[in-house]
Amino acid sequence: MATNITWHPNLTHQERAQLRKQQGVTVWLTGLSASGKSTIACALEQSILNRGLNSYRLDGDNVRFGLNKDLGFSEQDRNENIRRISEVAKLFSDSCCVTVTSFISPYKADRNLARELHAKDNLPFVEVYIDVPIEVAEQRDPKGLYKKAREGIIKEFTGISAPYEAPENPEVHVKNHSGLSIEEAAEQIIDYLLEKKYIN
């Protein structure tokens, strides 16, 4: 770790929020592959933008085309993937953006790290569990990943050959397997953000 560096302070988050007339918050969607995270995140981002608020979505696949293209799917690489995204999400939120992330983020310790990074700077962090039983996710399997994992083609696949540690106390619990529409799932998250006055 570099030691010959200096932090250059600027506006506080509160000052920036007053100028932007919007506060920042990170909405962290977690769940199995094929649980609907990305689809719900897209609908959520659009709904927030439609309210005239600044929002940006960070997607698990998308960041691997650039920022995290050097990482694989070992436990160590997954840890680093989430560490980097946690830092990026914190920066977005500090800029008064409603940051929507959709990552499997299978390990509780990594999600707790993301929460702690935000808490350190007094930035709201909302964990959203997109809950789908493994059987349902495997039936959906739009990318054919579960099939490849069952065949041994994909190693260390979450839910099959690698663990998923479900959140115990998420701020929002979306049961995305009981006839809930994408719009209803996004609205459930919006309702929480409104209740907590993170958005208006």
Q: For residue 8, which amino acid is it?
A: H
Long-range contacts for 191-198 (Cβ within 8 Å, ≥24 apart)?
A: 192/126, 193/25, 193/27, 193/98, 193/126, 196/124, 196/126, 198/23, 198/25, 198/98, 198/124, 198/126
Active-site annotation holder among 105, 161, 178, 181? 105
Q: For residue 104, which amino acid is it?
A: I
Full strand arrangement of the beta sheet holding 172-175: 55-59, 98-102, 25-30, 125-131, 172-175
Query: Does the active-site annotation cover 105?
Result: yes
Q: For residue 157, which amino acid is it?
A: F
Q: For residue 54, which amino acid is it?
A: N
Q: How many CB atoms lie within 10 A of CB 104?
A: 22
Residue with tokens 């209803």: 184
Gyration radius of the chain over CA positions: 17
Name the residues annotated as catalytic: 105
